[in-house]
Amino acid sequence: MTTEYSKIQSALNHHLSTMVGKPDVVAYENLTVSPPESELYLILRFKPDEPDYPDVGISAKAFESGIFQCVSAALPGSGWGLAYNQADNIMERFKQGVVINHNDINVRILLSYPGPGIIQDGRYQVPVNIRYFGYY
């Protein structure tokens, strides 16, 4: 059994990329971006958990879970509204029960929830944690 982290991350990234109303600038992992000073942008992080193989055999299913984190990054001093409105949009896109079929893999969204807003790297950041379950 091999893990399919790249396919799961690709499915989640693709699902986000088709979201209506997402910011123009998205900081995908390990890419440098230069967001405009006055605009909100997203920072993405992929955090897989330990894989689970509950079945035995060549045709056994593999189950992968983890957290896909989308951080809404707004300017400090602009209030909490923009960052949390974008967090609401992300949670609506990745709501419980949504199944993403992409690249020969299925990813089910288990839960989406925001974390507390903090100021980091010169931006007011609100993380949205998206618990996923991938199976193939």
Structure tokens at 58: 């060549």
Q: What is the mean pLDDT of residues 26-47?
A: 92
- The percent of residues above 70 in pLDDT, for the chain, comes to 90
Identify the H or E element spanning 111: strand 105-114
* Amino acid identity for residue 52 in this structure: D
Angle at 17 between CA 14 and CA 20, to 5 degrees: 135
Q: What is the predicted pLDDT for the residue at 96?
A: 97
Q: What is the DSSP code (8-state) at residue 49?
A: -
Confidence of residue 10 (pLDDT cuts 50, 70, 90): very high
Is the full-model pTM beyond 0.75? yes
| CB neighbour list of residue 4: distance below 8 Å, 6 or more residues apart | 62, 64, 105, 134, 136
Answer with the residue of higher pLDDT: 118 or 63.
Answer: 118
Q: What is the CATH number of the domain that holds 95?
A: 3.30.2000.20
1-5, 6-10, 100-104, 111-115: range with lowest mean pLDDT:
1-5
Residues 53-83: pLDDT tens digits? 666 666 666 778 999 999 999 988 888 899 9
Residues 74-112: pLDDT tens digits? 988 888 899 999 999 999 999 999 999 998 889 999 999
Q: Which domain holds residue 14?
A: 5-135
| CB neighbour list of residue 84: distance below 8 Å, 6 or more residues apart | 72, 114, 117, 126
Angle at 44 between CA 40 and CA 46, to 5 degrees: 165
| Total domains, the chain | 1
Helices (H) and strands (E) in the chain, counts: 2, 7
Contact 126/115 with Cβ under 8 angstroms? yes
Q: What is the predicted pLDDT for the residue at 59?
A: 66
